[in-house]
Structure 1
């Protein structure tokens, strides 16, 4: 690497780091991506965690935001090996009586399946579906913009209330349970603001683009982004763990796909004291405990619709889910955890040997918890899929502590890059008109700790690179 000159360096090769690198390289600047691990990908890695021939997604598995990402959709990722596979059912939510509610790609089909809540679901979601294509670029940025003020006001009216309040729009427990499972992706108690925004966006994403998986595993996303970046002249070096700015070659801009804690460790001495104090106050949220299973045959769900869904939410009704999320948030281990489960073999037979499957499930736990949730999670799966335990061939578990050891960006097991409540949704990593730029010349954030936050969409990296380009720092002599 010595002797090579780069205008910009990106530290970290997750989707946001690669999105930043691609954006700068496309603008005509030479970019180097440095990755601490031996493989690229960040949260889009796929590994053989259990048995030979079983390909497990280490973190992200299903990508509703990837399918509608304004940035991804500008790239020819299909030419570089990315193929989205769409299940017939986006997500299913089973109940103890053997029935299940379901989210389909079709708005009408979803509404019909909700019975007496059919009209209520149409009233709630139709305006969102119509407005989102116009609002999405603004919503997936630092500030929503005001080019469509009436649409934005109506969206905010639906998005800002807590999920428990929004649930009152629906009359039946199945619909409320389905809604609660969507909102619980926020990694916040359901009585907090912003939980409705997450639930609403996920449902809308299903109706606009589906909930796909990447053929061969989530690593196909990282590989496609990296292949495109290399095809336009970019450079990637793996196995290069950056511990300080002194480790880096000269460059006019350095973009960090890390959270505030890591930036303080790497570049703290170069940052003003006031800014360091604000970064140190950045809040991280609940952790996750995750299990990857290699199983024989399909998961034996009692509700047939669950066998068609790549994503299944396990947690019973809204009250049970709300208790689970509140417990984890307040530092208690939930007795009956809300479990997010994926079974990509429903649409992707390449993940495991014939007749077998990879299955992935996690629950939210207190920040930095080392508690073993294996029994609690498997009990929840067995509750809705009797006989599941008998199908397990092998398993791999990761506690919240293990998650951080695997990837330092998952502080305390928080896979979202920090709490995303109403304040920290906009103040990521600090409240600023330019949240991607630090006060230190040439140092920028491009991670999910910046707007619009967590998810595999690349928009944090894209906006960070746009900020670099607007600052003109790469053109200066």
Structure 2
């Protein structure tokens, strides 16, 4: 049979759509097959609590959505996407009611830091200045960088642990906790090698682009991608579970926006026993326990900076955050966990009925944990926002099993597509010069289980699609 499509993408998360858009733009005929009834992977918006309250089920704040070298150059505004930029990208409160705020303005940020002002400028000044020289190489597989000196400067700061880097640069515990807030997004113990890289990348992107989120819900980001993709002639098929590649239409290339565990369950793939063994050895990271709230009013943070921030990191001392992230990898959860909080409705009134609000939070937990940690989360928020519990109208809870049922890519509640430690940061899903390729020359992996890993940035999909172009369509000119 002749090929109906040049390429087929399995999975409609941000990476799958990035791959599909890039190939469609280059003149290929493509189709996306999605097992769920709603596209978007973990980036979806639903009414989880009460009617009229819109909650982002998975991804909520998209710090790399606008910072992505691929997404930021797409005409998504023309397809309905509107970014909302809170005054403060993220805030970090302390128990005395004060807080530090990460502003887009680097100098406004350092004004708060007292004796650590010059150290913060030394750490982030050149990184923010050189961001556009290094961002494409940061969000790519290992390769020789375009600007090697700028990239090397980043690498020397990124390679240490978050603990070592913060102790080297900062004197004040508050500044250390402030840096830990972004570094702990890694879900790694903060004494792990290269855990500093997450704090550097996320904070630098905040100073460069802020941490925006889509108006009306993260699902609108997916809607804009799909609208653009379909305007290019791409096709989408929902409710299309792929169990056997032979059930799909013919194509030259098949790109899987899936993690290794799902790919290994698909029949008809011409994989060697060695490759299957290596995929089975792929490591998944910590999971999350998540709550969405319908609220009668905004979270009553003691700090004004927190009330003007889209994201709040809760961990009141460096030791508290270190302990929280260390314990999850030993099979337990701290009584005072590091908590990530997102609040949209103070800046986006479309998220809730008039006068009402939404909020969202999660903690890191051992992979596969089914314990209910809602009390721990709400107690931590109450420390920074007395009276918070009185504002709760309804809540929706999701443990790691719930998250995996929502999106099978969230294996054991792992939101990063696999552990992102030094052994799997660039060498994912296996050590290979071409991490997107497989032994089957038709089959590619384009999920967050390939470089550069987790986050709504689409760069895994972009790089996988570029490999497809090189392997199968290098003579196509467009």
Residue of structure 2 in register with 1:39 after alignment: 38
- Residue 124 (structure 2) pairs with residue 147 (structure 1): no
Instruction: Give the secondary-structure state (helix, strand or coil) at the position aligned to 1:66.
Output: coil
Partner of 2:382: 382
C-alpha distance after superposition, 1:45-89 (max 9, x if no partner): 000000111100011111111111110122100011111110001
What SS does the aligned partner of 1:167 have? helix
Question: How far does the alpha carbon of each residue in 1:93-124 deviate from its partner, in whole angstroms, 9 at most, with x for none?
Answer: 11111111111110000111112211111011
CA distance, structure 1, for counterparts of residue 23 and residue 49 of structure 2: 38
Q: How many residues align?
A: 475
Aligned positions of 1:32-181 closer than 5 A:
32-168=31-167, 169-181=169-181
Distance 1:466 1:412 in 2: 30
Q: How does 1:111-260 map to 2 (within 5 A)?
A: 111-168=110-167, 169-260=169-260
Deviation per residue, 1:320-355 (Å, 9 max, x gap): 001000111221122211110000112111100111
More helix by share: 1
Q: What per-residue deviation string (whole Å, max 9, x for no partner) do you get for residues 19-46 of structure 1?
A: 0001111111110100111111112100
Counterpart Cα distance in 1 of 2:213 and 2:454:
17
Unaligned regions of 5+ residues in structure 2, if any? none
CA deviations over 1:165-185 (Å, ceiling 9, x no partner): 111111111111111111000
Confirm or deny: 8 A CA contact 1:253 1:474 kept in the other structure.
no
The residue aligned with 1:303 is: 303
Q: Which runs of 4+ in 1 moved over 4 A?
A: 473-476
Cα distance per residue 1:132-164 (max 9 Å; x no partner): 211111111102523322111111111110000
Distance between the aligned counterparts of 1:288 and 1:419, measured in 2?
13
| 1:274 aligned onto 2:301 | no
- 1:304 deviates by 1.4
Query: What is the match of residue 367 of structure 1?
Result: 367
Partners of 2:246 and 2:268 within 8 A in 1: no
Structure 1 residue 247 displacement after superposition? 2.5
1:329 aligns with 2:329: yes
The residue aligned with 2:292 is: 292
1:351 and 1:255 map into 2 onto residues whose CA distance is 34
Structure 2 residue 5 is the aligned partner of structure 1 residue 9:
no
Query: What is the rounded CA distance, in whole Å, between the counterparts of 1:434 and 1:173 in structure 2?
Result: 42
Whole-angstrom distance in 1 between the partners of 2:57 and 2:268 = 30
1:312 Cα deviation (Å)? 0.4
In the alignment, which residue of structure 2 is the partner of 1:462?
Answer: 462
The question of whether the paired residues in 2 share the 8 Å contact of 1:29 and 1:474 is answered with no
Distance 1:163 1:269 in 2: 40
Post-superposition offset of 1:127 = 1.2
Q: Which segments of 5 or more consecutive residues in structure 1 lack a partner in the other structure?
A: none
User: Aligned to 1:207, what secondary structure does the other structure show?
Assistant: helix
Kept in 1, the 8 Å contact 2:3–2:252? The answer is no
Which whole-Å CA distance do the structure 2 matches of 1:248 and 1:373 have between them?
42
Residue pair 2:245, 2:269 contacting (<8 A) in 1 also: no
Aligned residue for 1:91, secondary structure, equals: strand
- Using the TM superposition, give the Cα deviation of residue 268 of structure 1 relative to its aligned residue in structure 2, in angstroms: 7.2
Q: Tell me what 2:262 maps to.
A: 262
Contact in 2 for aligned 1:186/1:194 (Cα 8 Å): no
Task: Call closer, same or farther: CA 1:458–1:417 in 2, change over 3 Å.
Answer: same
Q: Secondary structure at the match of 1:370?
A: coil
Q: What root-mean-square deviation, in Å, do the aligned CA atoms of Structure 1 and Structure 2 show? A: 1.4
Describe the SS at the equivalent of 2:293. Answer: strand
Contact map agreement 1:428 1:450 (CA 8 A) in 2: yes
Instruction: Determine if contact 1:87/1:346 at 8 Å carries over to the other structure.
Output: no
Q: Provide the residue aligned with 2:346 in structure 1.
A: 346
- How many angstroms apart in 2 are the aligned matches of 1:55 and 1:356? 11
Is the CA contact 2:296–2:356 (under 8 Å) kept in the aligned structure 1? yes
Residue number in structure 2 paired with 1:357: 357
Distance 1:445 1:436 in 2: 5
Separation of aligned partners in 1, 2:153 and 2:474: 40
Cα distance in 2, alignment partners of residues 3 and 128 from structure 1: 50
Q: Secondary structure in 1 aligned to 2:254?
A: strand
Is the CA contact (8 Å cut-off) linking 1:8 and 1:474 kept in structure 2?
A: no
Instruction: Indicate the larger mover: 167-176 or 409-418.
Output: 167-176
Distance 1:144 1:132 in 2: 17
Contact 1:334-1:365 within 8 A present in 2 as well: no
Which stretch of the first structure deviates more once superposed, 181-190 or 247-256? Answer: 247-256
Query: In 2, are the aligned partners of 1:436 and 1:445 still within 8 Å (CA)?
Result: yes
Task: Quote the Cα distance in structure 2 between the aligned partners of 1:414 and 1:267.
Answer: 24
C-alpha separation in 2, matches of 1:37 and 1:174: 44
Contact 1:268–1:276 (Cα < 8 Å) also in 2? no
